[in-house]
């Protein structure tokens, strides 16, 4: 998703900061980038389609030592990724510049109105209406006043920054849904869509609330609410270790994030699991709510949805609470049946996924309590849900979600065990065993060296099936998404027992099938399904619990030392993630920033 960065100082080199800041936002995924500086009464602009390496040589045309500027990484929504559609966008006179995240829904009508008034548009974007409106409302004379007028005209979910070369001491920042954070320096302030952009410069920050308009000058941040009242947003210190946001010696962020999972599992369990009980208060959902739950409705997207599928199995089997799981983009338009006894549980790494946010907003309108399982502290989902629990996975930089997913699984496991205990189905054996997971994770990761070669074989394929039953099927769903998104191999997950009802017709000599077997109750059944595909010539990669007694007549075998199947999902995810990772590496793909994808999907 798009990234925003801004710099306003008494002095200093905005250009260097903005380019470095954009580099730190690269993980969000983008297809063009640009920078605008306010200099000598005009805006100096450099922007280009493609990665920052394409932009970098163009920066030579921009002046150094200018202390006001804004930058942007764009992920195309309105208009193709081109040089002209890249942000920043300017007004007709070239004195006002803006960068924008999100969508202006009524841009077509505004654009027609502005063209009728004589404004000239050069891009296909929705964004470009903003600088032209600012021009029309006198932004060069009073940027803040013009922004206030303009944001009354815009509908949609967005955030933007505006500068005017005629007022070179200020950035005006607007937040309507998409996140914006101000970094507080000495004689300089920064604005960004993500703290990571300014972390090397300052750890003091404040988060703009929805509806805020901020006037950011080198020494002050003046915030007005949507209604125009002055507001105070409490500064806080960002405690992320900058090292966490670096690759730590691994070739890719994704590999680093896979390998650090045992550590983040420790962070996730910390303070929440003590001996044979869960510290319920640490799960963020008060007893007054937990005791009323009759049904749970999980909403999420992509990988987080797959975590929800595992969560459903855990909560139904352990706590005997009925659980439905919905893809958020569907749920929000399904006119769902909700009531105060249905807990709507939203799962999200970023906490900014538009469909998930809309689902939670709908749930609240319908009177259902909302509870978010989120990784990003201070994210919109965390702030807009009634209750929140954080997964503590740390910043996840690779677009493909790995550690965020497995920490979601752990939080859902803790929740299921707590709800089970409160409903008279306590499993203190499982609670005690939770703390064995980080060490088991280390062991599993250490045992998976052979996956590199197994992936080399898979890398030559163009279609692959992932099969399993029960929780293993939910894991198969995640396995197939991982290989699709980073290795660009078409993949399909199937309940193993369902193959013979049609899909088995596709199995022929050499068809690759990844089978997952960790559920002891169904192992024999899944083995039969493996034999069915083997008999038709399939080449099988099997990921199995080493404790199972069966023989596995497969082509590539990964045996995992697993605890109870209800505690195993996060461990079983590890080989699935590594298989996708190494397959993508062998195919020479851009593992951390796969094509067409963004880390945070803040548009529908």
Do 203 and 219 touch, CB atoms closer than 8 A? no
Cβ 31 to ligand F6R, closest distance in Å?
Answer: 17
Cβ 601 to ligand F6R, closest distance in Å?
Answer: 5
Give the residue with the Cβ less far from ligand F6R, 117 or 596. Answer: 596
Which tokens in the block code for residue 466? Answer: 């992932």
* Gap between the Cα atoms of 29 and 31, Å rounded: 7
Give the residue with the Cβ less far from ligand F6R, 472 or 592. Answer: 592
DSSP β-bridge partners for residue 542: 515, 557
Cβ 347 to ligand F6R, closest distance in Å?
Answer: 7
Say whether 486 sits in a helix, a strand or coil.
helix
Cβ 286 to ligand F6R, closest distance in Å?
Answer: 24
Give the residue with the Cβ less far from ligand F6R, 100 or 403. Answer: 403
Give the residue with the Cβ less far from ligand F6R, 91 or 257. Answer: 257
* Gap between the Cα atoms of 222 and 232, Å rounded: 8
What single-letter DSSP state applies at residue 104? E
What single-letter DSSP state applies at residue 498? G
* Gap between the Cα atoms of 204 and 186, Å rounded: 11
Do 367 and 394 touch, CB atoms closer than 8 A? no
Alpha helices in 385-470 (DSSP H): 403-422, 428-434, 437-446, 451-458
Cβ 577 to ligand F6R, closest distance in Å?
Answer: 10
Which tokens in the block code for residue 317? Answer: 């089997």
* Gap between the Cα atoms of 197 and 399, Å rounded: 17
Summarize as ranges the residues that interact with ligand F6R (CB under 6 A). 301-304, 348-350, 353, 356, 400-401, 481, 485, 600-601
Give the residue with the Cβ less far from ligand F6R, 127 or 353. Answer: 353
Question: Is residue 2 flagged as an active site residue?
Answer: yes
Check 2, 312, 403, 482 and give the catalytic one. Answer: 2
Do 306 and 405 touch, CB atoms closer than 8 A? yes
Helix %, strand %, coil % for the chain, to 5? Answer: 40, 25, 40
What's the half-sphere exposure (Cβ side, CA atoms, 13 Å) at 535? 9
Cβ 165 to ligand F6R, closest distance in Å?
Answer: 37
* Gap between the Cα atoms of 370 and 346, Å rounded: 7
Indicate the residue whose CB is closest to ligand F6R.
302
Give the residue with the Cβ less far from ligand F6R, 278 or 309. Answer: 309
- As annotated, the active-site residues are 2, 599
């Amino acid at each position: 998703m798009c990234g925003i960065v801004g710099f306003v100082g008494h002095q200093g080199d905005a250009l260097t900061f903005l380019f470095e800041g954009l580099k730190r936002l690269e993980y969000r995924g983008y297809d063009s980038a640009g920078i605008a500086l306010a200099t000598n009464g005009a805006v100096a602009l450099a922007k280009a389609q493609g990665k920052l390496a394409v932009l970098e040589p163009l920066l030579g045309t921009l002046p150094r030592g200018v202390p006001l500027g804004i930058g942007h990484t764009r992920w195309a929504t309105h208009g193709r990724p081109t040089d002209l559609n890249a942000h920043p966008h300017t007004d007709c006179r070239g004195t006002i510049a803006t960068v924008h995240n999100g969508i202006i829904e009524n841009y077509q009508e505004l654009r027609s109105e502005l063209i009728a008034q004589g404004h000239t548009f050069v891009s296909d974007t929705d964004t470009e209406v903003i600088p032209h409106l600012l021009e029309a409302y006198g932004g060069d004379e009073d940027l803040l006043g013009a922004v206030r007028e303009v944001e009354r005209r815009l509908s949609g979910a967005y955030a933007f920054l505006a500068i005017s070369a005629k007022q070179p001491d200020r950035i005006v920042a607007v937040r309507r849904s998409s996140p914006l954070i101000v970094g507080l320096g000495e004689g300089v302030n920064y604005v960004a869509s993500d703290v990571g952009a300014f972390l090397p410069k300052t750890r003091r920050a404040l988060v703009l609330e929805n509806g805020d308009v901020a006037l950011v000058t080198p020494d002050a941040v003046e915030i007005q609410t949507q209604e125009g009242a002055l507001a105070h947003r409490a500064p806080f210190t960002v405690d992320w270790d900058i090292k966490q946001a670096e690759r730590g010696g691994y070739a890719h962020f994704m590999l680093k994030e896979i390998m650090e999972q045992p550590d983040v599992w420790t962070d996730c369990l910390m303070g929440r699991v003590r001996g044979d009980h869960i510290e319920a208060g640490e799960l963020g959902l008060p007893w007054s709510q937990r005791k009323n739950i009759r049904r749970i409705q999980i909403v999420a997207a992509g990988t987080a949805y797959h975590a929800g599928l595992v969560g459903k199995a855990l909560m139904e089997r352990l706590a005997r609470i009925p659980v439905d799981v919905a893809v958020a983009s569907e749920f929000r338009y399904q006119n769902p049946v909700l009531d105060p006894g249905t807990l709507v549980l939203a799962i999200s790494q970023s906490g900014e996924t538009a469909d998930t946010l809309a689902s939670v907003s709908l749930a609240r309108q319908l009177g259902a309590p909302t509870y978010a399982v989120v990784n990003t502290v201070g994210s919109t989902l965390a702030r807009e849900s009634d209750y929140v629990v954080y997964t503590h996975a740390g910043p996840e930089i690779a677009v493909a979600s790995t550690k965020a997913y497995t920490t979601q699984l752990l939080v859902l496991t803790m929740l299921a065990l707590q709800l089970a205990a409160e409903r008279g189905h306590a499993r203190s054996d499982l609670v005690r065993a939770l703390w064995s997971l980080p060490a088991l994770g280390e062991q599993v990761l250490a045992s998976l060296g052979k996956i590199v070669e197994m992936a080399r074989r898979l890398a030559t394929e163009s279609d692959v099936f992932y099969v399993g039953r029960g929780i293993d099927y939910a894991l198969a769903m995640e396995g197939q998404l991982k290989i699709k998104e980073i290795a660009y191999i078409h993949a399909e997950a199937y309940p193993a027992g369902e193959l013979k009802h049609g899909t088995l017709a596709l199995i022929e000599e050499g068809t690759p099938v990844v089978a997952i077997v960790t559920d002891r109750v169904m192992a024999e059944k899944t083995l039969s399904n493996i034999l069915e595909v083997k008999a038709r010539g399939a080449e099988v990669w099997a990921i199995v619990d080493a404790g199972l007694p069966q023989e596995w007549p497969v082509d590539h075998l990964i045996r995992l030392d697993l605890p109870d199947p209800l505690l195993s999902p996060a461990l079983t995810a590890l080989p699935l993630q590594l298989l996708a990772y190494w397959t993508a590496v062998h195919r020479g793909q851009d593992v951390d920033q796969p094509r067409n994808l963004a880390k945070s999907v803040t548009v529908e």
